[in-house]
């Protein structure tokens, strides 16, 4: 088991790792739309927050030697299911031809009151 960490994505907000490599897979903790350069949430629209969260996820995956094209499963937590179509549009744009298995659930509240959080499992 190996801990994955990068300064190109937000640091963990608690006692957990950005990702763990184990048994040929990368298990990524949920990424919220914190801009790592600013250290805060800058994006206000659900589209921009989705873009930032996936960018953060990509940075963690790349630090592990993987990438969005190797993601096999994601879980998307959104604060308002009415945002599903907007999130889906950006998600499809950023994942391209890769279409990992996915779950999407509405969460009552997310860290820092963001609009979404995305976690992933990828092939190493």
Question: Which residues are the active-site residues?
Answer: 104
Strands (DSSP E) contained in 1-124 are 2-4, 19-22, 25-31, 34-35, 40-41, 71-78, 101-106, 116-123
**Start-end of H helices in the chain:** 46-63, 84-95
For the purposes of burial, counting CB atoms within 10 Å of the CB of 111, is it exposed (0-12), middle (13-18) or buried (19 or more)? middle
Pair 12, 29: CB distance under 8 Å: yes
């Amino acid at each position: 088991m190996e801990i994955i960490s990068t300064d190109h994505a937000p640091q963990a907000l608690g006692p957990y790792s950005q990702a763990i490599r184990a048994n040929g897979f990368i298990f990524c903790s949920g990424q919220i739309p914190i801009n790592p350069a600013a250290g805060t949430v800058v994006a206000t629209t659900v589209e921009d927050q989705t873009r930032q969260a996936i960018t953060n996820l990509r940075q963690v995956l790349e630090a592990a030697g993987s990438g969005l094209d190797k993601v096999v499963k994601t879980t998307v937590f959104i604060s308002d299911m009415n945002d599903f179509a907007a999130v889906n549009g950006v998600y499809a744009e950023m994942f391209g031809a890769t279409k990992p298995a996915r779950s999407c659930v509405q969460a009552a509240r997310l860290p820092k009151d963001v609009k979404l959080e995305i976690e992933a499992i990828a092939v190493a």
